[in-house]
Amino acid sequence: MGKVRTLILLAPGTNCDVETEVAFQQAGAEVSPVHIGELIRREKRLSDYHIMVIPGGFTYGDDISAGKVLANELRLKLGEDIERFVEKGGLILGICNGFQVLVKAGILPELSNTASSSLTLSVNDSGRFECRWVYLSVNPESPCVFTKGIAHMYLPVAHGEGKVVVPRDIGLARGLSHLNAVLYYSDEHGNTNAGYPYNPNGSVGNIAGICDSSGRIFGLMPHPERHIRGTQHPQWTRRGAEDYGDGFQVFLNAVEWAIRA
Amino acid sequence: MHRIEVRLKHDFPDAKGLGLVKDIHDLGITAVTDIRVVDIYWLDADLTSAELELICRSLLADPVTQEYQYDQDSWGGDAYHIVEVAYNAGVADPVEATIMKAVRDLGIEKAKAVRTAKRYLIELKADSYQLKAISLEVICNRLLVNPIIQHVVEQKSVIFPENPQYRFKLEWVNILKSTEEALSKIKQQFGFSDDEFRAIIDYFHRRGQDPTDVELEALAQTWSEHCVHKTFKGRIKFGDITVDNLLRSTIMKATEELNKPWCLSVFEDNAGVIDFDGFWALCFKVETHNHPSAVEPYGGAATGIGGVVRDIMGTGLGAKPIVNTDVFCFGPPDFSYDRLPRGVLHPRRIFKGVRAGVADYGNRLGIPTLNGAILFDERYVANPLVFCGTVGLLPRKISQRGQQSSGDLVVLAGGKTGRDGIHGVTFASEQLTEESTAVSYTSVQIGDPIVEKKLIDALLQARNRGLYSRITDCGGGGLSSAVGEMAAETGVHVYLDRVPLKYTGLSYTEIWISESQERMVLAVPPNCVEELLTLFADNDVEATVIGEFTNDRRLQLFYHEELVCDLNMEFLHHGRPQLRAEAVWEKPGHDEPDFAPPQDLTKSLLQVLGAWNVCSKEWVIRQYDHEVQGGSVLKPLVGKNNDGPGDAAIIKPLPDSKMGVIVSNGINAKYGEIDPYWMAASAIDESLRQIIAVGGNLKRVALLDNFCWGNTSRPDMLGALVRAAQACHDMSVVYETPFISGKDSLNNEFQFEGKVISVPHTLLISAIGVMEDVSRAISMDFKQAGDLIYLVGTTNNELGGSEYFRLNGFIGNNVPEVNPHEAKELLDKLSKATEKGLVKACHDLSEGGLGVAVAEMAFAGGLGVIVHLKSVPLGEPIDREDFILFSESNARFLVEVAPENGVEFEKMMAGIELAAIGQVTDAETLEIYGLNSRKVVDTSIQKLKDAWQRPIRW
């Protein structure tokens, strides 16, 4: 069979596209950066791809709220294409700003045609943008196809609006029960209740990433594409450099799943 | 018009509001307990309630956390105090364009304009029933409102004022038949010197016609200090010697003497360019953006980043920005409000504003900010310095500046043109006064990073398709500078009425000199223009043909068919008489310190670690994205807990190559108070030490200079500048590190109560090095207990200008000097030992000397250390232990070496003064033994780290 075709969605303010492209290429995919305008003008078609990625950045400046404007654009102008893409078994990955877009477009926590009212991403508790490395524990029960076989990861976050928030009025436990949590912020020992700065933004339930019930739509605040080689690890000069970084398996999993599907 | 209000639901904490509460407490106002921020949107449209519901529900309010209302009485009636802050008329609302687009996406086409505001609902402690009016005013003035761009909204405020219309009338300036008095006024108004103005009068006499206003503006821009660097190119009498063109006879001369084949483009383009790997080239530029940052720190600093990034885009045929570096000089954050000059923002606010501006702009552009420094001194209170640097990557074959042909079209791409930054160049070249903040608002530009990001994306595509023959940025001096310089050898026609404007009302002169951000100018062959315009349109970037290049070497500007400017390029670019100036320099005599040596140096060490100039800048660094693009190899924060101070940053710009780029900087203005020559030499040595410390070498290292000085029309100021430039030459040739570009910002001074306060002579040296293999990189944190610690290099009694003397109230006179021949040998040998794998950790000694360096290595590595001062190799006898511990002698390193490699390390370093002065331990304590083997420092590394982190743990 041919190569796994991956679409990297570009919009004004996207800025993690190149490293995301590199990660998928090294994982064996054929990658096409596609501007949202090309999809809207029907010059390119989502249905020609196996994987759609919304990379990190500050789309439309994150004006109003992070990812909101691109989310509306996707929902209103490409909503049906996305629905068909998911129906046909496509994979969707949203990293950082891409996660914010997926949530605000109503693609996560479950694909629907309105913005989610059961989850949002809001301003970090610290009130500021922060770039730091975080320890992540993977929920072993998660159906997420991107994290199969991964137990822990060490990845950087870099965001100002990454706090996972659920509605207050239905109670936290019920709010969380709607979410398929994939990744939890933890400390170096895997303890998921370690507080700031281990949980860098105050996310409820220490949630760093979620997927839909099929496990094929995955959004996360940390950046796996920024840790695909050993010398990206902040302490490689102390521990020696591994060949691959912790995030690389996410891309391998996606490509392998798409090949099998 | 509709007014929409959006706020967080009651049960969600307002993180931004809480941040403000903290800032207010820092002002000493403790009565404030809570602030809720309401977002206000005004839409200039006639909408149905269904449409308003849709806009609120689907766009402006978050369905989980926020609630909204529209066209009703404002929220907050029950708060103690309410302040609503909006942008001034004429200031571009930064989110207007996005909201207009997003509203159109919802299918609502009728919104004509959008304005936004913030409404602050301030709550107080129950027992302080009323926040005094004075406190509220303080909160507004110090935190919420910057009158340069904002105002407090009142009942009578007009939200959508009418823009004035412009009626064309060609303005002539009478100089041919004018009185002396009137001439003198014109000269002053345009900022010409006597010699310059005489040459101008002669020119127009020969032409037989008065100049138009835009002709004089074009000359003023082209001949401004900011654009032409006339001081550096002047004829300077310095003692017995005459320096004809300081730049050419010092800094550029060193580059010529070295004549490195890997220097591809030096001092002629928007950035210097060096070869990277034979296929790729690197360009590097550092700019200053000082005066705008003084009056509007956020916007000023943001546009500083935006400007230097465009320099990189405008180098060769266009480079991709891959690293940002930022160096700031501020007043001390604890500066007393009582002493603050009128009209000057507090250093803490400038600091926070500049940081936010650089971060918001740099982060949004997706360029990692990997390196920087922050210095503090009271003389920067009214005149902060903001250095923004960017490294770019471009194919070597397009690293030379392009050349257009006559007939090529002038294309203006990117943002629209408004009144932003009018007279910014002249503003940058002038002294600030107490009134500056009131009169200079048009000089402050408001940036939009997403417009610039889109511009970068589109330009790189156009570059790769070869759609233009030349490119330059539209920065200081606007079109006047960009198009005027591009067309110097050809000539140009520009049709000013074709320039896309943000709003009506701009005159042809304002269009020509506006410094609106995010604009680039391209020379486009006619057969490429259609493809280029389509490409830009597809990327949602404005691009417009505004003229064509000619071959008559004339600058001809038109406004609706009328010729408004007709200048000879030869006169515009070469008609300026060379500046003549006198310079003197005398070594100042400062008091020698006479304080007794403290018995216990633990306290001194904790103090030095907590000094503003030394302490951790983690709070700032974390707010920059230093990981975007995925290239970082050595990050700004290193060590066991990712919080130690790395020396230089390394990135690997190409995914399939192991080659790296090292970026570092050297700056130490305190030494300039003793001797600017040794200040410059020290800055160069420091920038190179950092490259060696991370595992680099000097084989391919290039330097940039950035001089920020006081008013150089004063002979002593100019003398100091000459001496610093001489050191740049002398060091550069010996280290074999050529300068490839630079910049100067003169007149950094402030008039206050009749006194002139100049910034300290400040020279920033930025270094860029090529690393053959990034897997050779090392970090500064101690790695393993039992390892040996070598001090490489000699320590002298050189505490003049040191952090230690400053803490004790002295400057001193023994400024650190550099013997570049010895230093070069040391640096070369150390880099060979590192390449061999013998060095496990390395840190250069700078502010705070040995004491600070060893403490930083220890707490960064989470390991203890024992050090013996009596083992320190001395260049001269020093009997004071505190002096040995805190001397700031140059060309020194602390190096961690495994015991089994000690002999080989010493062998490789043969001929260099060094000694094993101690050992890494797992005790997590720092123990330093004095000359008589008495313990002079004994403390835990946690305590040291805490002292170092506490000052800026905001």
Same domain for B120 and B205: no
Domain finish residue from B162, B197, B223: B223
In a domain, B97, yes or no: yes
Could you say which of B133, B152, B171 is where a domain stops? B152
Interface residue B363 vs chain A (CB under 8 A): yes
Candidates A16, A96, A144, A211; catalytic one: A96
Mean pLDDT is lowest, of A102-116, B281-295, B428-442, B850-864, for: B428-442
Q: Any alpha helices (H) in B672-737, and if so which ranges?
A: 676-693, 715-735
The stretch B729-733 carries a mean pLDDT of 98
Q: Is A131 tagged catalytic?
A: no
For the question of residue A225 being annotated catalytic, the response is yes
Contacts of A76 in chain B (CB under 8 A): 105-107
Is B300's pLDDT higher than 60?
yes
Is residue B159 a part of any domain in this protein? no
Residue with tokens 């190149």: A18
Dihedral class, residue B228 (left if φ above 0, else alpha if ψ from -120 to 50, else beta) = alpha
CATH number for the domain spanning B106: value is 3.30.1280.10
* Residue B431 banded pLDDT, cuts 50, 70, 90: low
Half-sphere exposure at residue B754, Cβ-oriented, CA atoms within 13 angstroms = 0
Distance between CA B176 and CA B216 in Å, rounded?
Answer: 13
Testing the interface with B: which of A15, A78, A130, A250 to mutate, by most B Cβ within 10 A?
A15
Inspect the interface and report whether the beta carbons of B453 and A26 lie closer than 8 Å: no
**CB-based contact B885:B929 (threshold 8 Å):** no
| Chain B residue with Cα closest to A230 | B633
What's the domain count of chain B? Answer: 3
Nearest beta carbon to residue A63 from set B9, B99, B106: B99
Domain ranges, residue B187: 180-223
A-proximal residues of B, 857-896, CB under 8 Å: 861
Distance separating alpha carbons of residues B560 and B177, to the nearest angstrom: 29
| Interchain pair A127, B655: CB under 8 A | no
Give the one of B12, B63, B538 whose C-beta lies nearest to A37's C-beta: B538
Cβ neighbours of B720 (radius 10 Å):
27
pLDDT of B547 higher than 50: yes
Structure tokens at A112: 């629907």
Q: How far is A172 from chain B (nearest CA, A)?
A: 13
* Mean pLDDT of the region A241-251: 96
Q: Among residues of chain B, what percentage have pLDDT more than 90?
A: 80
Find the mean pLDDT for residues B533-553: 96
pLDDT at residue B726 in the model = 97
How much is the pLDDT for B223?
94
Same domain as B79, residue B34: yes
Backbone φ, ψ for residue A168 (5° rounding)? -80, -30
Separation of alpha carbons B93 and B528, rounded Å: 35
**B655 interaction partners in chain A (CB closer than 8 Å):** 22, 26
Give residue-wise pLDDT tens across range B791-839: 999 999 999 999 999 999 999 999 999 999 999 999 999 999 999 999 9
CATH code, domain carrying B886: 3.90.650.10
Q: Flag whether pLDDT at B356 surpasses 70.
A: yes
Measured distance CA(A174)–CA(A141) in Å, rounded? 18
Using CA atoms, how far apart are residues B944 and B936, in angstroms rounded to an integer?
Answer: 15
- By the 8 A CB rule, do B35 and B120 touch? yes
**Mean pLDDT, residues B760-773 taken together:** 98
Interface test with A, best of B43, B56, B64, B101 (most A CBs within 10 A): B64
End-to-end CA distance of chain A: 11
Return the exposure string of B736-761: e unless at least 16 CB atoms fall within 10 Å of the residue's CB, then b: bbbbbbbbbbbbbbbbbeeeebbbbb
pLDDT value at position B441? 45
Taking an 8 Å cut-off on Cβ atoms, the answer to whether B540 and A37 are in contact is yes
Of residues B62, B538, B861, nearest to A120 (C-beta): B62
- Give the closest of A119, A127, A226 to B16, CB-based: A127
Contact A131 B623 (CB under 8 A): yes
Q: In this structure, which amino acid lies at residue B940?
A: S
The confidence score (pLDDT) of residue A108 equals 95
- Give the closest-approach CA distance of B484 to chain A in angstroms: 31
Residue B272 confidence (pLDDT): 98
Q: How high does pLDDT run on average in chain B?
A: 93
Query: Over 70: is that where the pLDDT of A216 sits?
Result: yes
Residue range B735-752: average pLDDT?
92
Asked, for residue B245, whether it belongs to a domain, the answer is: no
DSSP label at B408?
P
Query: Does B952 touch chain A if contact means CB atoms closer than 8 Å?
Result: no
Could you please report the per-residue DSSP string of B109-177? ----EEEEEEEEEEEE-TT--S--HHHHHHHIIIII--TTTEEE--TT--SSPPPPP----PPB---TT
- Which residue reads 């490699």 in tokens? B901
Question: Is B433's pLDDT higher than 80?
Answer: no
Residue A191: how many other CB atoms lie within 10 Å = 13
Q: Residue with structure tokens 């062998």?
A: B907
Mean pLDDT throughout A200-221? 97
Beta-strand runs (E) in B778-833: 788-792
Q: What is the model's pLDDT at position B530? A: 98
For residue B645, pLDDT over 50 is answered with: yes
The 10s digit of each residue's pLDDT in B165-183 is: 889 999 999 999 999 999 9
pLDDT value, residue B127: 67
Which region among A44-58, A169-183, B532-546, B871-885 has the lowest average model confidence (pLDDT)?
A169-183
- Predicted pLDDT of residue B954: 84
**Whether B821 is catalytic:** no
- pLDDT confidence of residue B131: 66
Residue B921 — φ and ψ, nearest 5°?
-125, 165
Residue of B64, B105, B625 lying closest to A76 (CB–CB): B105
What is the model's pLDDT at position B87?
87
Query: Which CATH architecture fits A5-260?
Result: 3-Layer(aba) Sandwich (3.40)
The answer to whether residues B194 and B88 belong to one domain is no
Q: Which amino acid is at B312?
A: I
- Check if the interface score ipTM surpasses 0.90: yes
End position of a domain, from candidates B193, B223, B253: B223
The bridge status of strand B492-495 relative to strand B580-583 is unpaired
Answer whether B629 sits within 8 Å of A168, measured CB to CB.
Answer: no
Asked, for residue B495, whether it belongs to a domain, the answer is no
In this prediction, residues A220-248 reach a mean pLDDT of: 97
**Dihedral Cα B525, B528, B530, B534, nearest 10 deg:** -120
Torsions phi, psi of B684, nearest 5? -65, -45
Instruction: Pick from B11, B358, B464, B627 the residue to mutate for testing the A interface (most A CBs within 10 Å).
Output: B627
- Residue B440: the pLDDT is 42
Q: pLDDT tens-digit profile of B896-945?
A: 999 999 999 999 999 999 999 999 999 999 999 999 999 999 999 999 99
Classify residue A106 as left (phi > 0), alpha (psi -120 to 50) or beta: left
- Residues B138-155: what's their mean pLDDT? 84
DSSP classification of residue B636? S
CA B683 to chain CA mean position, Å: 17
- Report the pLDDT value the prediction gives residue B428, as an integer from 0 to 100: 54
Place B439 in a pLDDT band, splitting at 50, 70 and 90. very low
Catalytic residue among B289, B423, B729, B761: B289
Total residue count of chain A as it appears in this document: 261
Q: In the numeric block, which tokens belong to residue B648?
A: 């230089």
Residue B447's pLDDT is 81
Q: Give residue B138's pLDDT band: very low, low, confident or very high (50, 70, 90).
A: confident
Residue B10 inside a domain? The answer is yes
B539 contacts on A by Cβ (under 8 Å): 35, 37
Q: What is the pLDDT of residue B804?
A: 98
Q: Which of B63, B450, B623 sits opposite A58 (nearest CB)?
A: B450
DSSP letter at B406? Answer: T
Phi, psi of B692 (to 5 degrees): -70, -40
